[in-house]
Amino acid sequence: MPDVVIVGAGQAGLSASACLAQRGIDHVVLEKSGIGASWRHQRWDSFCLVTPNWTVRLPGQEYAGPELHAFMSGAGFVTFLEEYAARFEIPIRQPVTATAAQQTEHGWHLETTAGSLDSRALIVATSNYQTPFIPDFAAAMPLQIKSLSAADYRNAAQLPPGRVLVVGSAQSGGQIVEDLMIAGREVILSVSHAGRAPRRYRGRDAIEWQDMIGFLDRPAAALDDPRKRFGGEPHLTGRDGGHTVSLQNFQAQGVRLIGRVEDIQGFTLYLKADLRDNMRAADRFAANFCGDVDSYIRRNGLTAPPDDGEPAHAPIADFERYDEPVRLDLEEEGVSAVVWATGFRFDYAWIGADVFDAFGYPLTARGETAAAGLYFLGLNYLHSRKSGIIYGVGQDAEHVASRIRLYLDNSRS
Give the model's pLDDT for residue 318: 57
Overall average pLDDT of the 178-186 stretch: 98
Reduced to 3 states, what is the DSSP secondary structure of residue 383? coil
Overall average pLDDT of the 234-252 stretch: 92
Taking residue 206's Cβ as centre, other Cβ atoms within 10 Å add up to 25
Q: What is the pLDDT of residues 356-371, one digit of tens each?
A: 999 999 999 999 999 9
Listed in sequence order, the residues at least 6 apart from 37 whose beta carbon sits closer than 8 Å to its beta carbon are 9, 10, 31
Overall average pLDDT of the 119-140 stretch: 92
C-beta separation of 258 from 328 below 8 A: yes
Examine the pLDDT at 321 and tell me if it is beyond 80: no
Q: Which amino acid is at 161?
A: P
Give the model's pLDDT for residue 413: 61
Selected residue with higher pLDDT from 82 and 232: 82
Examine the pLDDT at 315 and tell me if it is beyond 60: no
**What is the fold of 4-130+346-412?**
FAD/NAD(P)-binding domain (3.50.50)
Overall average pLDDT of the 186-201 stretch: 94
Exposed e or buried b per residue across 328-357, where buried means at least 16 C-beta atoms within 10 angstroms of its C-beta: bebeebebbbbbbbbbbebebeebebebee
Same fold: 4-130+346-412 with 132-340: yes
For helices 275-299 and 206-213, what crossing angle results, to 10°? 60
Give the model's pLDDT for residue 226: 80
Give the model's pLDDT for residue 107: 96
Say whether domain 132-340 belongs to CATH 3.30.70.270. no
Examine the pLDDT at 127 and tell me if it is beyond 90: no
> Whole-angstrom Cα distance, residue 56 to residue 77?
9
Give the model's pLDDT for residue 324: 85
In whole angstroms, how far apart are CA 53 and each of 19, 39, 57, 202, 370?
A: 22, 16, 9, 20, 36
Q: What is the pLDDT of residues 148-178, one digit of tens each?
A: 999 999 999 999 999 999 999 999 999 999 9
> Whole-angstrom Cα distance, residue 230 to residue 129?
9
Sorted by where each begins, the domain ranges of the chain are 4-130+346-412, 132-340
Band of the pLDDT at 47, cuts 50, 70, 90?
very high
Percent of the chain with pLDDT over 90: 85
Overall average pLDDT of the 376-389 stretch: 94
